[in-house]
A and B are shown apart, each in its own frame.
Chain A
Amino acid sequence: MGIDFIIAAIITVVGLATPILLAGLGELVVEKSGVLNLGVEGMMLVGAISGFAVTVYTFNPWFGVLGAAAGGALASLLFGVLVLQLNSNQVATGLALTIFGTGISSLMGLSFTGRIVVPFLSVFPDALAKHEYLQLIFGYSPIVYFALIMVPLTTWFLKSTRAGLILRAVGENDLSAHSIGYSVIKVRYAAIAFGGAMAGIGGCYFSMVITPMWAEKMTAGRGWIALALVVFAGWRTGRLLAGAYFFGILMALELYAKASGFSFLPSQFWAAMPYAMTVVALSFISSRGSAGANAPACLGKPFLPST
């Protein structure tokens, strides 16, 4: 079990963690603004097929990623209009988005079965990207680096910028924010669109990097893990990063256990771990009520100004 083994294992974990990190980061911002969007799985699938389709037609994976972000954002706006303008129930609307996104991506993907694109791998020169040790740093798809950069960027945005402060205020007390003069609706629209774009990019990681092809429902439920991740992280970005990699390790453990012939714990145990751990984390977070590690006070509630 030398260094090579560890490096290869880490690379697999990075691949497993990146999509949920992206979608999770997006959803974290959405929830910080007070909106619960359960449609992550649907948005990821729309992003996956959008990114794939754009890459097929333009032969350019960078456009593909943009296309994925656009697809995810568009899908999220469907949710946004219903929830923000028409005050529809967020839980039901999010679920409808998931079902819709799954169906529409399948429909869009029909003409793409059997096609492949060149995988969107590292843009660094082979000497670095394929180097025995340096590949640990340089061997990843640009999407991975994007995800990692977005973590501190999002943290900075939420903590240190005025816009981020407003967003958090909207999430904690929308009526007060409204009375001070901030447009709750505009802020939430922006957050929702951001969440959609990130979920879309997370989705295209499946269709452009892991297995550069399209298959129906290819995100295989990772959108739900991303939702769990946001809660598990207590709505904090640093914990989200750690949580994404933790979940990634759990997923990899399942496969390594199987491939090594270990059967003392059933594989379903590992597969259930991310969800079970989230429930446990939820209990700790929700009961202690410490500021910052709690759900945004307005999460899931419609914005109903009296004026």
Chain B
Amino acid sequence: MASRARLVVLGAGLLLLVAVPPLAGALNQPFYVDLLRRVMIFAIAAVSLDLILGYGGMVSFGHAAYLGIGAYAVGVLMHHGIVSGWVQWPLAIAASALVALGIGAVSIRTSGVSFIMITLAFTQMLYYLGISIEEYGGDDGMRLAAKSQFAGLIDLGNPMAFYYLVLAVLGASLWIGHRVVNARFGMVIRAAKSNEARTRAIGFSTDRYKLTAFVIAGAMGGVAGALLVNQTEFLTPEFMHWTRSGEIMFMVILGGMGTLVGPVLGAVVFLLLEDALSAWTVHWQIILGPFLVLVVLFARRGLVGLLPGAGRDA
């Protein structure tokens, strides 16, 4: 149950996003369709991270891995001649979910700091794995032969169609996220974040719920990955680099964690900022780094936290 202000922001934001392609067409600036599509893809990734980070309190520094796996699933299948999106995308989701299950099963039993280090280590492991497999480009990466084909239903080669697909997926992610965090399952996750010992003491075996949340978030990350590789038409282990994880986490915090809407806002601001800064100087990270530190120190509740009525959990 988001506060009034948040719903207004969400509504306005979605309307704006819907309006972008016709506006961009009218102003003859197709670049913005591309840019905002990229923003929305990362917004989906950020929303998926928010499920486990903002609501579950699980500081997973390895979330980029799932984008990478989703992307590689599509890319590898495409490379071997399987062009149908109907086959690729479900497999991409299944692959990310499976890897999330594996990593989660090992890491969730560990304490807070260990969890951070372990998720980071496993992401890097996948990155190194990606680099060492020469067949799929190694560390140079690989071009995608074609976009995923959805015969007759939608042509991802059409920028506007692709854009609205991504928007629909983002909308669906937000809706699903909203239902999940307010359902019984979501309450357990949120309780575990609030007070793990208490959650166990009333009878919840928290590990299995946290693992499930981890898998769900991983699967959603896989969706974002499948979208991403179609967006960039290029496959690279860089998708899985741990600094990517840090960036997605930054988006969640910047926007406001534990709000679902916040991460979307965070993705928008972060990526637009990155775009603007990198046009200005090639050394934009030297500004972004301290900016992140300042946000953490002084604007902990994120942009959504600046809205009136902010105070209650979603």
| A and B together in one complex | no
Interface residues, chain B, CB within 8 Å of chain A? none
